[in-house]
Structure 1
Amino acid sequence: MPTPHDGLPETAQGPADEDMPFDLFERWYAEAEAAEPNDPNAMAIATADATGLPDVRMVLLKHRDSQGFVFFTNATSAKGRELAANSQASGVLHWKSLRRQVRFRGPVERVTPNESDAYFTSRARDSQVGAWASQQSSPLPARKVLKDAVVAETARFEGQQIPRPAHWIGYRVRPTYLEFWSDRPFRLHDRIAFTRMTPQGAWEHGRLYP
């Protein structure tokens, strides 16, 4: 279980060390990996469509460092199209067993092809086949159509390494806002927010009312 103050300083205001929020995230993430029964890397990612209407869904955090938070998807999916038109996103990881959450938002960039290739190669073969078979977010006339596509792609790549589809890529959210929330009795929760003007800027941090 978390410590009484979850690693958050009792006083927090002013400039922050460049790595401070990411170091704190790593500590919390390690505890979530030990405590969460399912998918501690599950996170909600919100984008916006052409009208500005928010669109949110669950994805998996596959890489994180001081540059940001990375997930992979089909660039022709709804979120891929929305990010192409408006390359900004917000996200949240909620660890119910620890009564903690981390929120972030900022501009989004595509990871390098080499990064996408490396992660695609690490996936299970059936998941690699699925990346070719699924036209993500497009209308599906019947479940059988998808099953038939999986059979066809499995046969097409039989006996060979499956290459990464060009449309299957990674996105990195580079946070300009990063907030750590920890549950407290009587809804007097603890919140510390790290903010910066740009992904290259210096962090400021401060505590927020619950």
Structure 2
Amino acid sequence: MNNALDMVKQEKIVSIIRLDQADQVEEVARSLYRGGINIIEVTMNTPGALEAIRTINHMPEAILVGAGTVLDAASANAAIRAGAKFLLAPTLNTETIKMGNRYGVPVIPGVMTPTEALTAHEAGATMVKVFPVRSLGPAFAKDMKGPLPQTELMAVGGVSAENAGEFFQAGWDAVGIGGSLVNAQLVKEKRFEEIETAARKLVDARDKAIQSSK
């Protein structure tokens, strides 16, 4: 179960794909991969999300694919059966965590308070997603890890290439980035090279932040 989470912590960047339709998901995934990002979350509210997860799993590129916006145990089960290697949720639902644990698939639930983070940890989640993080800021990692040092944190909702370095330097274990990386208009216009460029810019920000912290 820890293999997917180990990769998330190592790579530190999860690209969140939320589209009006999933027919371009393969090209989007390849653009991200060429830009240096190889962990992708397909949100369950993307039409054809389960098929998109299957598609990415069958690509020759070594991409770790998970499901996002997983709101309940039934959705978790469907995503796991489609091949999702990890699950993310905007909220905390302990039944969803239990479903993931049953099949050895890590669940990263959404939290905003230490109480929610501890509840998630006690239910079996080793990493939590602080969402939306834009109202809390990078320094919130220190606030959360003070009383709960065992908690691994992902920042989602307001992270971009311009501020990602601040989150890495502040001690966040990973970040999830959606529209500022995979812009729906770029996908619609098939401007995949711009998605690749955005991915590369984000990877550069990560690498510089890690290097400066050594």
Decide: shared fold, TM above 0.5.
Answer: no
User: Which structure carries more helix by proportion?
Assistant: 2
The structure, 1 or 2, with the larger RCO (C-alpha pairs under 8 Å, 6+ apart) is 1
Provide the TM-score with structure 2 as the length reference: 0.24
TM-score scaled to structure 1, two decimals?
A: 0.24
Larger Rg: 1
